[in-house]
Structure 1
Amino acid sequence: MTQTIGNPLSWLAQSLGLTSAHVSKSVTHLGSDEASAAPIVNYLEFSDLRAALKAGVEDFAACRSDAMFLILCYPLIGIGLVILSLQVNLLPLIFPMILGFALVGPAASVGLYEMSARRAAGFPPRWSDAFNVLRSPALLSILTLGFYLAVLFTAWLLVANGIYSRTLGPEAPSSVSSFLLAIIQQSEGWKMMFWGGLAGTVFAVTALAISLVSFPLLLERNVGLPVAVATSISVVRKNPQVTLTWGAIVAVAIFLGSLPAFAGLVLVIPVLGHASWHLYRQAVC
């Protein structure tokens, strides 16, 4: 059957209307801790990363999640680019903001997890399945964890701005070319890159640890937010090399996808989102 893309606003309104019936369940789910649903953490191999990426590409092709991401996120990206182009003092934060996508990416990919889960269950893929998360009993837990990631993202920007102020700053660069030349030619620029890279790594590992499998686990099982986060941390602790490699893959992919005016994120984010679901299925049973 040929798939069509309906009015996204009508889909959203319908989903929000149904969501109100699940508010009480979400409140209960937030602190749920059922021993019978205790997750078991598996050992991962590098081959699992390749398998997850392959499955992510297949889900991307089947679910047409590029259309969903284009509709929902491109206006926001466009507004952000306009603001950045008008505010010279935000120039030193462009690179931290690009890498910040990796911090909040798991929260933005919740709908993609839902699409992959329904496809794995044998349902015909539809991009509108992403809105099923609005009717999930785990909605409040998901929103809470997403808020924590947003706070982490804000803290990262504040730290990055502080590093710039103590090295090349505090004055804003006069132009893009002067800013790039200062980074390359001045010792303070190299200091900024070193300390910025070190701080960014700390924030990225923290976000990876608390969110690697938390969101898909909340969607699939009746576990509370503390159990989901603890399980995600356990996955990273049990598989440090594989999970850190996955984090590096995500960061590099998002950076490369951001270079052509963020256009590549239309492909990168959906593929990584779908792949993250399949990696979760390998990591937790």
Structure 2
Amino acid sequence: MAEAWTMATAPTAADRPELRRIGLDALGTALRRGWADFLAAPTQLVFLCVLYPLIGLLAGTLAAGGDAMHLLYPMAAGFALVGPVAALGLYEISRRREGGQAAGWRNAFDVLRSPALGSIAALALLLAAIFLAWLWVADMIFTRTVGTLPGDFSGAMQVVFGTAEGHRLLLWGNLAGLGFAMAVLVLTVVSFPMLLDRDGGVARAVGTSLRAFAANPVPMLAWGLVVAVLLLLGSLPLFIGLAVVLPVLGHATWHLYRMVVAR
């Protein structure tokens, strides 16, 4: 797997894909195309099979009481940090439909046969490390602000929203979460789709993602906001809406990649 990291550690100018500048209207186009892909190859049942264990994990954390309750929100919010990995199969479906090939939910697993699997796994490990770092930082902020929570949910909410310590927790916790989310957005906005499309190693894919963000800062920031808002709406209630939101966003991300990175 180390080769996946070093494959393109020093890309030449010829190895740097040409990038396009896009406007905010491209985000709507990407979402419309993502919705069309979702309607053509519905994957909500697959995502429900993934989401139900997640819901069970969060419910178990809540039921565990005060010692674990403070990780409930960071775990739920942190799902967005590993979302690009969950969307890999969706990129493959969109890629196949774009090429005029038959595409259904089973084709999502074709990613496992991708020549870029090593590079994909290496980048996925990076996101897993970022997710764990986020949980560690969230736990540290909690310890240094609130410290402990009552065992019941209503009491915990009273502490978080009704005390000065809780307000500091919300401020610093959300600022830290924003920083982690921005890092993942910059690193992966086009890198995972690019690895599926034209594997050249993690360094090349991440470098292209950084360049894409620098070339289109306003649309990319707006895209991050769109993703955050839709994930929030999809999480209410009980995360069930994510079974539709996640596939649409995944397909839309593929089309955003196509609009930004020239073939």
TM-score (norm 2): 0.92
Conserved 8 A contact 2:234-2:242: yes
Q: Deviations over 1:108-156 (max 9, x none)?
A: 1001000000001111221111111111110011011011001101111
TM-score (norm 1): 0.85
Decide which of 227, 239, 252 is 1:250's aligned counterpart.
Answer: 227
Decide which of 208, 212, 216 is 1:231's aligned counterpart.
Answer: 208
Q: Point out where structure 2 has 5 or more consecutive residues left out of the alignment.
A: none
Cα displacement (A) at 1:75 = 4.3
Q: Which runs of 4+ in 1 moved over 3 A?
A: 26-37
Determine the structure 2 residue equivalent to 1:41: 19
Q: Which amino acid aligns with 1:175?
A: D
Q: 2: distance between equivalents of 1:109 and 1:164? A: 31
Determine the structure 2 residue equivalent to 1:192: 169
Q: Deviations over 1:235-265 (max 9, x none)?
A: 1122111111111111221122122111111
Q: Which amino acid aligns with 1:100?
A: G
Q: Which amino acid aligns with 2:244?
A: L
Decide which of 46, 55, 59 is 1:68's aligned counterpart.
Answer: 46
Q: Which amino acid aligns with 1:145?
A: L
Q: Deviations over 1:35-65 (max 9, x none)?
A: 5553112212110100011111110110112
Q: 1: distance between equivalents of 2:39 and 2:175? A: 36
Counterpart mapping for 1:82-97 below 5 A? 82-88=59-65, 89-97=67-75
Q: Which amino acid aligns with 1:180?
A: M
Cα displacement (A) at 1:90 = 2.1
Decide which of 76, 88, 96 is 1:118's aligned counterpart.
Answer: 96
Q: Deviations over 1:137-186 (max 9, x none)?
A: 100110110110011011111111111111111x2332111111122221
Cα displacement (A) at 1:106 = 0.5
Q: 1: distance between equivalents of 2:140 and 2:230? A: 26
Q: Point out where structure 1 has 5 or more consecutive residues left out of the alignment.
A: 1-25
Q: 1: distance between equivalents of 2:255 and 2:182? A: 20
Percentage identity across paired residues of the two chains: 42
Q: 1: distance between equivalents of 2:199 and 2:129? A: 25
Q: Which amino acid aligns with 2:25?
A: S
Conserved 8 A contact 2:55-2:239: no
Q: 2: distance between equivalents of 1:273 and 1:173? A: 38
* Of 160-169 and 253-262, the range deviating more from structure 2: 253-262
Determine the structure 1 residue equivalent to 2:188: 211
Conserved 8 A contact 1:167-1:189: yes
Aligned length: 258
Conserved 8 A contact 1:37-1:222: no
Determine the structure 2 residue equivalent to 1:145: 123
